[in-house]
Structure 1
Amino acid sequence: MKKILVTVFVIILFAIGYIYATPYLVMKNIREEVVAQNIDGLSQYIDYDSVRTHLGKQLKTAITAQFVSAPEMQNNPFSDFAMVMIPGLVDRLTEVLISPEAIGALFKGENVKKIAEHQPTITPPSAEQSSENNYSGFGAKWNQAKTGYESFSWFVVEIPNDEGKVVKFRFRREGLIEWKLNEIVLPFDFLN
């Protein structure tokens, strides 16, 4: 009877440890997919609808705030016309940033403005490219990342970009062991 209780206790302890470690395993898998430039592999960890919604709200807020505070728009007769164009600009920019290539670039720590100006593309790695070479390109940013639970169902990864500004990736638990990227929180002044 005592052996059975010990065995059950060890199994429960292992299960709790595994459930706790799952977001860290997902981060490892995401890193491998970005390094391998595997769009399909990366996409399985992203809830595109949710990320699109959250990014769109951030972009609309940031672009509108920057537009309204711009001195050249004060008392400008064309400012109302420009305000009407903001939703189209936000939609286009959101679609650029929601692509697997752009999300992969954000995970590598690339600057948001740079990604928006030059939409990244993923090209298959050549045969002579080794995983170590690819890891070294983004390992420094990844190693500076801060990770942790916000709650049982939310896990956050904060990665500094090229300018030292932090991009926050919020993952939501789906079931017990699966995680999906649900939000990307850009630095407040990402447009500057």
Structure 2
Amino acid sequence: MNKLTIATMALIILAIGYIAAGPYLALSGIKVALENNDSVKLQTHIDFQVLKQNLKDQINASAFQSSMGDANSPFSALAAGIVTTITDKVIDAMVTPSGIMAALSNKGFEGSVFDKKHKLFKDATISFDSHDMASIWVPVENSENARFVLKREGIDWKLINIIVPNLHQIFH
């Protein structure tokens, strides 16, 4: 083999290794950005538009499913509509770099996953769902694991969804 072939193969192996390490690098980047309160750096690891829409869809579906459980109530559809409107506004306001930074600051919510006493992404595990999707599984007290979904964009990985365990219980 000539030097060009060896160099090309080495470059391909390095690129594959970098892409495979991407979810770990993205998780590390998110942690560092949050710990340093760096909203600009956080934007490089999160696709906020897709994340907002996925969270809205998840919450609205759970609220709709809960409201359909009481089909005899004439107010169930109205309640689902109100929840959808409120959800959209709250998600748009909170799921921004500055909104996340504010929630994770010293003014965070006591006793929640945003409480600084909790170590961020403690005991998290990463699994590959496909060649361009990965999941970060984070244990949540008294619940199933929360799932943070990453999608590969080129050679970078970005957070696109957070699947909240037991979300349906909020609406019951």
What's the TM-score bracket when you normalise by the shorter of the two chains? 0.7 to 0.9
Equivalence for 1:85:
82
Q: Paired residue for 2:151, among 150, 166, 172?
A: 172
Task: Structure 1 unaligned segments of length 5 or more: list them.
Answer: 105-118, 125-133
Matched, 1:184 2:167: no
Q: TM-score, normalised by structure 2?
A: 0.74
The structure-2 alpha-carbon separation of the partners of 1:16 and 1:76, relative to structure 1 and needing over 3 Å to count, comes to closer
Segments of structure 2 that go 5 or more residues without pairing to the other structure are 108-115
Judge conservation of contact 1:60–1:90 (CA < 8 Å) in 2: yes
Structure 2 residue identity aligned to 1:63: A
Displacement of 1:15 in angstroms is 2.8
CA contact (8 A) 2:63 2:83 kept: yes
The Cα shift of 1:50 comes to 1.0
Mapping of residues 1-192 of structure 1, within 5 Å? 5-69=5-69, 75-76=72-73, 78-95=75-92, 98-100=95-97, 120=103, 122=105, 137-138=118-119, 142-175=121-154, 177-189=155-167, 191-192=169-170
For residues 96 and 166 of structure 1, the distance between their equivalents in structure 2, rounded to whole angstroms, comes to 25
Question: What is the aligned residue count?
Answer: 162
Q: 1:80 to 1:37 in 2, by over 3 A?
A: same
Choose between structure 1 and 2: higher helix proportion: 1
Greater gyration radius: 1
TM-score under structure 1 normalisation?
0.68
Contact 2:19 2:156 (8 Å CA) reproduced: no
Cα separation, 2, equivalents of 1:56 and 1:191: 16
RMSD: 3.1
